[in-house]
Amino acid sequence: MRSHRAQDWIVLVLAAIVVVLSAARFAPASPTSLEVYPSPSLTRQTWLSDYNPALKGTPGDTPVLVFEGAEPGGTMLVLGGTHPDEPAGCAAALVLAENVMPEQGRVIVIPYANASGFTHNLPQEGHPSHYTLDTPNGRRTIPYGARLSNPVHQWPDPTVYVESVRGQKLAGVEARNLNRAYPGLQNGTLTSKVAYAITSLIREEQVDVSVDLHESSPEYPVNNAIVAHDRALDLAAITAVELELSGVAMNIEPSPESLRGFSHREWGDNTDTYAVLFESPNPAQGRLRGKTDEQLIIDGQDPMYVKASSRGRLYVPYTEEGTPLAMRVGRHIASIAALATSHTMLAPDRGIVLSGLPTYDELVSNGVGAYLSPGER
């Protein structure tokens, strides 16, 4: 009898261990586990909740990294991970944060802008929760999330999402889309609190140039593009010429005045910053894709897209070589560098001079992992 009871206890304890271990395995990653290993130029690390205290202790709070050069100048803000299923955006922000050495001015980087979106995947997409890159000193795992904030953190969705500037009506799920939430609400939903904090940061830090890094599917018309606010169109045009000189072709798309809630529209209308958004082609988020796995994220090769390309259905060049992550991150990093150079040409007293960044060709040849830390292993 006594030994039966002891056995029962052992079974119960073992069951409890299994439950705790599997809960830890499947629990959503908390935003503090979103890794970034800043370059030695880091002068200040803070949190987004510094710009909206209502975010403190919520899953929307996320690290903000400030890098400052010796010579005073202007400030550039770079956001990765507005849409966590657009991996080149977050990866480029990480490459920037882990390598940049500003000589003049400041760069502020938010690699995981929608931290909540990194804690889940969109239903029925079959996306992996992360992907792994080889770095010179070990492997680095980067989360792959969803376009929207996690419904566990913001629920329920309204039937119709009414955006806050003009009252435009969108599908209810768009209430969790950070890039429909600007300029944001101080005490609104989690997503609008995040948007409010970013708009406040741009004002408080007197950000001259603000960049939102995105990707779009190869069949989407706005691609390999800079979307620019009206006031930022000249800057975008000079940036595109700079990029052309380094062999990177980029389209310019004016931010439509009628589309509200977008970063490139509301940052420009509600602050003094020059607002731009970059797009690169990501087959892992496209509707025409086949097998969806880590390989597709990293190699960007999909036979369905080769077929679609041969029938003239895509808006970007696409061959068997695909659109690898290294190429897409290369486009983003080259665009950030060209944007800084162009802004410095137009406003030398607010110059932003960046060094330490890999070139487009270096990223394409060496891969993204070559420019990331494996972290503390």
> SS3 for 82?
coil
Query: Tokens for 104?
Result: 């003049």
List strand residue ranges (DSSP E) for the chain, in order.
42-47, 63-68, 71-79, 101-110, 130-135, 138-143, 160-162, 169-171, 209-216, 225-228, 251-254, 274-281, 353-355
Site for Zn ion in 318-377 (CB under 5 A): none
Q: Considering only residues 123-162, where is the footprint of Zn ion by CB under 5 A? A: none
Minimum CB–partner distance for residue 195 and Zn ion (Å): 14
Cβ 81 to Zn ion shortest distance, Å: 10
Among 38, 74, 75, 83, the residue binding Zn ion under the rule CB under 5 A is: 83
Task: Determine the size of the site formed for Zn ion (CB under 5 A).
Answer: 3
Q: Which is nearer to Zn ion, 113 or 333 (CB)?
A: 113
| Binding piece for Zn ion, criterion CB under 5 A, among 55-63, 159-167, 206-214, 306-314 | 206-214
300: tokens are 């960007």
Q: Is 214 among the residues that bind Zn ion (CB under 5 A)?
A: yes
- Is position 264 an interface residue for Zn ion (rule: CB under 5 A)? no
Q: Closest CB to Zn ion among 86 and 266?
A: 86
Closer to Zn ion at the Cβ: 214 or 260? 214
Q: Could you tell me the smallest distance in angstroms from the CB atom of residue 262 to Zn ion?
A: 10
Distance from C-alpha of 355 to C-alpha of 240, rounded to nearest angstrom: 20
CB 343 within 8 A of CB 228: no
Would you say 106 or 214 has its CB closer to Zn ion? 214
- The answer to whether residues 221 and 227 touch, using CB atoms and an 8 Å cutoff, is no
Burial of 333 by CB count in 10 Å (0-12 exposed, 13-18 middle, 19+ buried)? Answer: buried
**Residue 168 is encoded by which pair of tokens?**
């435009």
Which residues touch 203 (CB under 8 Å, ≥6 apart)? 271
Site string for Zn ion, 86-115 (x = CB under 5 A): x-----------------------------
Q: How far is the CB of 263 from Zn ion (least distance, A)?
A: 10
Using the contact rule CB under 5 A, the part of the chain among 51-59, 78-86, 280-288, 359-367 near Zn ion is: 78-86
**Which spans of this chain sit near Zn ion (rule: CB under 5 A)?**
83, 86, 214
